[in-house]
Amino acid sequence: MNLEQANRRLCMRLALIALGMFGFGFALVPFYGQICAALGVNSLTQRDSVSNTQIDASRTVTIELDSNTHDLPWRFRPLVNHLQVHPGELATVEYEIVNQRAAPVTGQAVPSYGPQFAGEYFKKLECFCFTQQTLAPGETRRMPVTFVVDPKLPRDVNTITVSYTFFEVAGRGGKS
Amino acid sequence: MSAVIDHDHAHGHHDHHGGYGGIMRWITTTNHKDIGTLYLWFSFLMFGVGGIMAVVIRAELFSPGLQFVNPDFFNQLTTMHGLIMIFGAIMPAFVGFANWQIPMMIGAPDMAFARLNNWSFWLLPFAATLLALSFLMPGGAPGVGWTMYAPLTVQMGMGMDFTIFAVHLLGMSSILGAINIITTILNLRAPGMTLLRMPLFVWTWLITAYLLLAVMPVLAGAVTMTLTDRHFGTTFFNAAGGGDPVLYQHIFWFFGHPEVYVVALPAFGVISQVIPAFSRKPLFGYASMVYATSAIAILSFIVWAHHMYTTGIPVSGQLFFMYATILIAVPTGVKVFNWVATMWKGSLSFETPMLFALGFLFMFTLGGFTGLVLALVPVDIQLQDTYYVVAHFHYVMVAGALFAAFAGIYFWLPKWTGKMYDETLGKIHFWLTLVFLNMIFFVQHFLGLAGMPRRIPDYPLMFETWNKISSLGAFGMGLAQLLFLYIVVKCIRSGAPAPQKPWEGADSLEWTHLPTPVPYHSFETPPVLH
């Protein structure tokens, strides 16, 4: 094999490495999803399972409800602004959305928690954030969130703020 | 000196430059020395542009309140300063060194793919133009920081698309350059130049080229995902469609941390040539240097999330990345101690290249130590995105990479041009740069510890004193680099003729086997090695 052939062969191999690494960048996307699922992080919009339903009546936690929309023509609000629950107690709150656009719109709600670490103790059994919501023009919809506050919540946490933000799912145009 | 092959007498044909004169010579050149020169001048130009941006940033930060630029433009400046300095100044500078030096150090006539080499360089001016054009777009250049984090990048104006395509071009240039460098080193070594006889500069570049090949495509992928999120309805980083902005940070830093070593390893290589030459001793622990360099490169792939301690990754993840990061201090320590041991009982002299190498040794080590501080999770949570981080990476990038580049320029300039630079002015340049550099960045440690956040054009009154000192240092640093330009131009135009081997202790092939200045074509017949 002469030098030119050797050079060309090595060049091809190195170019393949580069191409493979470009693919690897994209392979990180499903890989990241798998890791998050395996470690149980980033499961904001998935149903939680609750094993311990022992109610701890000795303490009360205030749940504050907040709602936002991001570039979405929806009116979105909780029916109550805050409530008191005992850890371990099953509770349900309702939210209302109104589609103010003259076209069907699909949105996805993403929750966030304050303090941040309280998220892992706020167990959602039913939530409108588990699926995308498609609203017809002018439609009003009431949706529940059923949750349990884990009794293992650190004792110094007296208030949890639950904030939902609805994002428009681009390109769906109301088709679900 | 009998080994010197003087091509001027051996052949009559070789100092013409490919048949073209003037500008066409530079556009069409396939000569590794010409392309090396192009890279170095391009890099200096970008260093100037990025430097002017830094001076405007520091002018704004001279006093609290807003004086010269609005916050939006300030963010665009910090973004472009970072991108231009890393991709436009430091990386091309070391590719320039690679082009000039690798063929001469391994006894090869040129790079393996000479035309590809031309293309690798000429992609850069177009990338730089795209970056510059982004300032003229509606909304201006992206103000997202050089890390280009989602979701902000998805909301930026058209300037972001220009930046994305510029990053694509820069990445392509780096990948082509890396392929060329690896092929040259593996296939074109002179007979007898075994891998473990190669000068360490060549070794560091071999490993760097593999790093580039592994991570630049990942960056290209990350910005491509940003592009499709912006325009084609994908949701890689958009929470509403099931994406995750934190994923961007993982992909980016998978590129970003090895990138630090893409910049640092060639700098290590230059230092490993300069320190033995001025200590008049061979490099201490050559083989351990090679293994340490490889170890750093491999470890650099498993530490990326130390940039992300505050993104909510699990504690077990934080611990893993903290320990892996601290582990990098071991091979880096091997290198630092080997350099010190090289100087031990050597007969040292302190010409300008050696001064810059020593400056590198002291201050790069300091930057490494602050890196260890930042690697500690509980400390980093306090210091994340403060000026402490800014001080840390500027000690690595400026006192590390830039000082190594200066050391290399002063070291090889006599070989390249055939003329000596002005030693007195060179020393003045070193001391000015050293003093001003520490004036800029050392005080930023204090600002960061006191809680001043980075990338913000305004600050509370209590930070004023240190910011004033830092800004004055930046103005001085900028002026000192004009002196550097003067020294280089003076050397090229009217320097005294340099001997074949101006540095007594230098022992690689370009000094021992080639005349000064090096002929346009060198090693057309491979050198004889013993």
Helix, strand, coil percentages, rounded to 5, for chain A: 25, 40, 35
Q: Give the domain ranges of chain A.
A: 1-42, 61-168
* A27 vs B: CB within 8 A: no
Per the CB < 8 A criterion, the answer to whether B280 and B505 are in contact is yes
Q: Measuring CA to CA, which residue among B482, B400, B410, B412 is closest to residue B441?
A: B400
Best of A29, A46, A68 to substitute, by most chain B Cβ atoms within 10 angstroms, is: A29
Give the pLDDT of chain B (530 residues) as one tens digit per residue: 334 444 444 444 445 555 677 888 899 999 999 999 999 999 999 999 999 999 999 999 999 999 999 999 999 999 999 999 999 999 999 999 999 999 999 999 999 999 999 999 999 999 999 999 999 999 899 999 999 998 899 888 899 999 999 999 999 999 999 999 999 999 999 999 999 999 999 999 999 999 999 999 999 999 999 999 999 888 899 876 778 899 999 999 999 999 999 999 999 999 999 999 999 999 999 999 999 999 999 999 999 999 999 988 888 899 999 999 999 999 999 999 999 999 999 999 999 999 999 999 999 999 999 999 999 999 999 999 999 999 999 999 999 999 999 999 999 999 999 999 999 999 999 999 999 999 999 999 999 999 999 999 999 999 999 999 999 999 999 999 999 999 999 999 999 999 999 999 999 999 999 998 999 999 999 998 87
Give yes or no: B7 in active site. no
Give the SS3 label for residue B89: helix
User: Mean pLDDT across the stretch A126-144?
Assistant: 90
Q: In this predicted structure, what is the pLDDT of residue B36?
A: 97
Give yes or no: B161 in active site. no
Q: In this predicted structure, what is the pLDDT of residue B19?
A: 65
Measured CA to CA, the distance from residue A15 to residue A8 in angstroms comes to: 10
H or E stretch including B331? helix B329-343
B215–A42 CB contact, under 8 Å: no
| Minimal Cβ distance to A14: which of B179, B218, B244 | B179
Which residue type sits at B284? F
Active-site option among B332, B342, B352, B516: B332
Q: Domains in chain B, please, with CATH?
A: 32-512 (1.20.210.10)
Q: Which long-range contacts (CB under 8 A, 24 or more apart) does B376-385 make?
A: B376/B322, B377/B309, B377/B318, B377/B319, B377/B322, B380/B306, B380/B309, B380/B310, B381/B309, B381/B310, B383/B448, B383/B449, B384/B309, B384/B310, B385/B453, B385/B454, B385/B455
Two tokens at B458? 């305004």
Per the CB < 8 A criterion, the answer to whether B176 and B115 are in contact is no
Q: In this predicted structure, what is the pLDDT of residue B277?
A: 97
Two tokens at B270? 């230059």
Taking CA atoms, what residue in B is nearest to A4?
A: B112
* Global ipTM: 0.89
Q: Does the structure show a pLDDT above 50 at A175?
A: no
- Give the gap in angstroms from C-alpha A170 to the nearest C-alpha of chain B: 6
B32 backbone dihedrals φ, ψ, rounded to 5°: -60, -30
Per the CB < 8 A criterion, the answer to whether B523 and B107 are in contact is yes
Q: In this predicted structure, what is the pLDDT of residue B240?
A: 67
Q: In this predicted structure, what is the pLDDT of residue A50?
A: 77
Cβ-based neighbours of B213, under 8 Å, separated by 6 or more: A14, A17, A18, A21, B175, B178, B179, B182
* B526 vs A: CB within 8 A: no
Measured CA to CA, the distance from residue A25 to residue B219 in angstroms comes to: 8
* A17 vs B: CB within 8 A: yes
Active-site option among B78, B134, B272, B470: B272
* B124 vs A: CB within 8 A: no
- Give the gap in angstroms from C-alpha A129 to the nearest C-alpha of chain B: 10
| CATH code for the part of the protein at A61-168 | 2.60.370.10
* CA B410-B511-B420 angle, 5° bins: 35
* B109 vs A: CB within 8 A: no
